Amino acid sequence: MKNAIVVLSDPKNESEESLGRVFNALATAYDFKNAGKEVSIYFQGTGTRWPEVLQNEDHPAHDLFEAVADKIEGISCACADVFGADTSGYDLIKDNAVPNTTGLPSLSKLQDQGVHVYTF
């Protein structure tokens, strides 16, 4: 079974809810990884800001982020453009050619591949 974790929460609002969502997204990816199941992580919307934040060694979710870093598929190209995310070192996903954008991940294509999509 293939699984995709899509992180949409915004680290800029610095809320417990936002931290809880990214923490649970990473924990879910960790669970799938340790169970030997296929999992990929996508950062989309304001969630494109998370990788830069999570690279900070003082962040409470840093170690968990590092534990699943090999499962990061990439960052939504158009969303990173809109929300000013630092995408250094990550693949830009743009297979959903939304008009007047640089493209976003295609959840439809993931579904066609039998991937279960979870959003956080």
Please, what are the averages of pLDDT over each run of 10 residues along the chain (120 residues)?
Answer: 96 93 98 98 98 97 98 98 95 97 97 98
pLDDT of residue 38: 98
What is the rounded CA–CA span in Å between residue 102 and residue 109? 17
> Do residues 32 and 38 lie in contact, with contact meaning Cβ atoms separated by under 8 Å?
yes
> Do residues 42 and 77 lie in contact, with contact meaning Cβ atoms separated by under 8 Å?
no
pLDDT of residue 1: 86
The alpha-carbon radius of gyration of the chain (Å, integer) is 13
Domain of residue 100 covers 2-119
What is the rounded CA–CA span in Å between residue 77 and residue 112? 21
Domain holding 52: CATH number?
3.40.1260
- For the chain, the domain total comes to 1
What is the rounded CA–CA span in Å between residue 120 and residue 17? 10
pLDDT of residue 111: 97
> Do residues 69 and 26 lie in contact, with contact meaning Cβ atoms separated by under 8 Å?
no
